[in-house]
């Protein structure tokens, strides 16, 4: 089985575009051992905080440590699950409501493993990668987001 | 010894900087002693929840700190 | 919460293109109550059957019954899970290896429910929708695929 | 009575058609009796695994068949 383990940069500046996701899917059409893909997308919600609507999240990170964590999470997933390939992209900088800030993409010959691997990756990313989110409110004030 | 401190998110707001060098009159100390020093310097940290990374590894218990270590104060994560 | 329950045609002629998937994702950027999307894609594998490689699957279906089943599965998912919207597309006709034959798309404010709803939908589609797949082999012979 | 039979996938190959009308000399019958009739007509069906849908509902047990019913013989599903 073909695997892809090279270290890649995970952070992308600003929102992740739907076209980027489409292109990423298209690149997998030459990998004919794949039977199932599972994709998770995080999208910035227009939550209302103390009466004010969130208009964007500005992401920052402890970048060196975060890239190391992403690498460890990726390696752990390859060790745990028989996946053909997996990809993680996370925004840094400003992402407006309705835009995509996280794109996790898992592919394997059969479907069972893609559910499990995707769930593992997303939960690990949320729990252990030092990324911080400043929720920008409609009056230009802000609050700091925390994952639940 | 000299150590580098990195502050992120809410913590950077509280201490009003993202990074600083700190010169301490001792050759080594514990993470707990460092925390006490920082909380004296920045009272805003006293009731604030943060994790500590020493050289990019999050510490789970009291850990020795040495010369040239990079210590990061990390508020709750918000990735995704 | 905004929900979308209109009966839509699920079958699409031939492969589902990555551009179609990208466009479908883009259409959700105006729905700012959504925080998480989960997408499953089925891709035709170049399996080797008795020494001959699969080059395509030709899908046929008991179409009236299949559309009814898709509708029932969709309704069951809306009843079971707090999702904002969900979409199912399945190919009919010929899909070459490496191309996409199934696209299931679930969106919700929070992530937990999208994993569960997507898993439910994909397993129900595989188990209960009368779709048949003729695996076309490289020498133009064929076998009938069955889901495991 | 007259019923409509629909055949799919492998089953359509075995019976060499996708649809046919069948006129039976009785006013009603059971799904089991219909299966016996079809297996006499198409010996290829004898050792073949299929589900039966009566008017688009898969039957789980022996079911009465009436005039104008649409009966589909469904080989294993392969969606996705």
Mean of pLDDT values over D24-29: 94
User: CB distance C25–A41 less than 8 Å?
Assistant: yes
Residue of A nearest to B74 (CA): A130
- Within chain A, what is the greatest distance between any pair of CA atoms? 53
Give the CA distances from residue A148 to residues B80, C110, D8, in Å, rounded to whole numbers and listed in that order.
11, 10, 49
Q: How many domains does chain C have?
A: 1
DSSP classification of residue A118? H
User: CB distance A19–C21 less than 8 Å?
Assistant: no
Q: Is C14 on the interface with A (CB under 8 A)?
A: no
CATH of domain B2-74: 3.10.20.30
Confidence band of A7 (pLDDT split at 50, 70, 90): low
User: CB distance D10–C132 less than 8 Å?
Assistant: yes
Domain CATH number, residue C18 = 3.90.1170.40
Number of cross-chain residue pairs from A and C with Cβ atoms under 8 Å apart: 118
Instruction: Kindly list the residues from chain A whose CB atom is less than 8 angstroms away from the CB atom of residue C30.
Output: 98
pLDDT at C4 over 90: no
Confidence band of D53 (pLDDT split at 50, 70, 90): very high
Q: Which of residues 76-95 of C touch A (CB under 8 A)?
A: none
Instruction: Kindly list the residues from chain D whose CB atom is less than 8 angstroms away from the CB atom of residue C148.
Output: none
pLDDT at C6 over 80: no
**Entry pTM:** 0.94
The C-alpha of D55 sits at a distance from chain C's nearest C-alpha, in angstroms, of 9
Range of the domain at A96: 2-144
Per-domain boundaries in chain D: 2-74
pLDDT in tens, A86-145: 999 999 999 999 999 999 999 999 999 999 999 999 999 999 999 999 999 999 999 999
Residue A20 neighbours by CB under 8 Å, 6+ apart: A89, A103
The C-alpha of A70 sits at a distance from chain C's nearest C-alpha, in angstroms, of 20
- Interhelix angle A111-128/A63-80, rounded to 10 degrees, is 150
Cα dihedral value D25, D27, D32, D36, nearest 10: 0
């Amino acid at each position: 089985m073909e695997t892809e383990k090279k270290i890649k940069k995970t952070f992308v500046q600003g929102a992740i575009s739907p076209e980027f996701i489409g292109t990423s899917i298209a690149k997998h059409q030459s990998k004919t051992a794949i039977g199932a893909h599972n994709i998770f997308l995080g999208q910035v919600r227009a939550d209302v905080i103390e009466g004010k609507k969130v208009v964007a999240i500005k992401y920052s990170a402890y970048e060196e440590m975060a890239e190391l964590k992403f690498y460890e999470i990726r390696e752990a997933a390859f060790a745990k699950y028989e996946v053909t390939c997996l990809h993680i992209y996370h925004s840094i900088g400003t992402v407006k409501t309705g835009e995509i800030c996280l794109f996790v993409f898992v592919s394997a010959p059969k479907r069972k493993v893609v559910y499990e691997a995707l769930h593992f990756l997303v939960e690990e990313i949320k729990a252990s990668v030092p990324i911080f989110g400043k929720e920008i409110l409609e009056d230009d004030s802000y609050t700091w987001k925390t994952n639940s | 010894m000299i150590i580098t401190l990195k502050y992120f998110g809410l913590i950077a707001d509280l201490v009003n900087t993202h990074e600083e060098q700190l010169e301490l009159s001792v050759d080594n100390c514990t993470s707990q002693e460092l925390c006490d020093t920082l909380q004296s310097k920045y009272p805003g940290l006293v009731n604030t929840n943060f994790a500590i990374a020493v050289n990019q590894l999050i510490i789970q218990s009291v850990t020795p700190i040495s010369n040239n270590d990079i210590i990061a104060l990390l508020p709750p994560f918000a990735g995704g």
